Amino acid sequence: MIFDGHNDSLGRLQEMDVAPELFLTGLPDRAVDLPRARAGGMAGGLFAIFTASEMDGDHGVPIDHEAAATFTLAAIGRAHALAGASDGAVRVARSTAELEGAFALVLHLEGAEAIDPDLVALDAWYAAGLRSVGLVWGRDNAFAHGVPFRFPSSPDIGPGLTDAGRALVRRCAQLGVVVDVSHLNAAGFADVARIGAAPIVASHSACHALCATSRNLTDDQLREIARSEGIVGIVFATRFVRADGREDPETPLSTIVAHVRHAIEVAGLDHVGLGSDFDGAGMPSELADVAAFPRLLAALRDDGLSAAEVDQIAWGNWRRVLGLAWR
Ligand SMILES: [Zn+2]
């Protein structure tokens, strides 16, 4: 079984304005849908809700709360609609018990703009099934500063969390909502670690030691994630895993395997999972969609990991950390 820490399927459904039921029967030219998930052994994942914005150089233009809230409402509505149309095959998962028995959509905000700085909306989104909040995307918002997309670059760009950001991290921990630090800058990451309220989750990041993009985690950050009982979902996006930082579909699976290995070496086996970014970023051609997950698992075994270790990376670690965060 595979739990994937990050995909953009739900946002794409919303942007494309397609009938949600198509997720159940198969979406043309997409990486994530139910038939492909079944073929690949994917049992669920964090489904990102991402309100797009223009780029200004290497960072995104900030968006306002109203626009993000409107988009998020519609995307959550679609998630429930497709679960409702699935005859029990898909559910919006709100607890670890609900991760099994049906394909599990875990609702995740990529960038917290849909939450107002007073956090009133957070309770509404929680009631609607939201269980994970990425504080920022690669742009600034009321809570934190997203790291710009730079290569090569340290992730240490810009200031830490705002007061509202610190309050959001604490409130998420109280409610039992994952706080995701992927896209957050180093000062913001350090603030989340200092608050220490919950396991630190980096849903879709890789190792800065192997690919020196601002989006990746330094070894110190990987150790901090382990100390917090958290997890890094290793991203498959070629520009975040290649040593040259280029987007290239000819990237071999061994490149991703090397990031899994490095994260295990630094953070420990218990703190490493998968976080593809399917439907959100350029993937290796060998890993074009979720049906190809078994190829990556085979590559991990070929590299010397045992079947039990691969199971832990693919499923067990995510399940344990979500259980800690959602308690
Ligand atoms: Zn992302």
Ligand 1 centre distance from Cα of residue 48 (Å): 8
Ligand 1 centre distance from Cα of residue 270 (Å): 23
Q: Is 179 a residue whose pLDDT tops 80?
A: yes
pLDDT in tens, 52-77: 999 999 999 999 999 999 999 999 99
- Residue type for 216, please? N
pLDDT in tens, 205-240: 999 999 999 999 999 999 999 999 999 999 999 999
pLDDT at 16: 67
For 130-159, b/e burial (b = at least 16 CB within 10 A) is: bbbbbbbbbbbbbbbbbbbbbbebebebbe
Ligand 1 centre distance from Cα of residue 56 (Å): 17
pLDDT in tens, 104-122: 999 999 999 999 999 999 9
| Degrees, nearest 5: CA angle 180-138-61 | 135
Ligand 1 centre distance from Cα of residue 121 (Å): 22
Ligand 1 centre distance from Cα of residue 117 (Å): 22
Q: How far is 209 from 216, CA to CA, in rounded Å?
A: 9
Ligand 1 centre distance from Cα of residue 50 (Å): 9
- Residue type for 190, please? A
Ligand 1 centre distance from Cα of residue 5 (Å): 11
Looking at beta carbons, which pairs linking 63-69 to residues 24 or more positions away fall under 8 Å?
63/111, 63/113, 63/139, 63/141, 64/113, 65/113, 65/114, 65/115, 65/116, 65/142, 67/113, 68/111, 68/113, 68/114, 69/113, 69/114, 69/116, 69/121
Ligand 1 centre distance from Cα of residue 83 (Å): 24
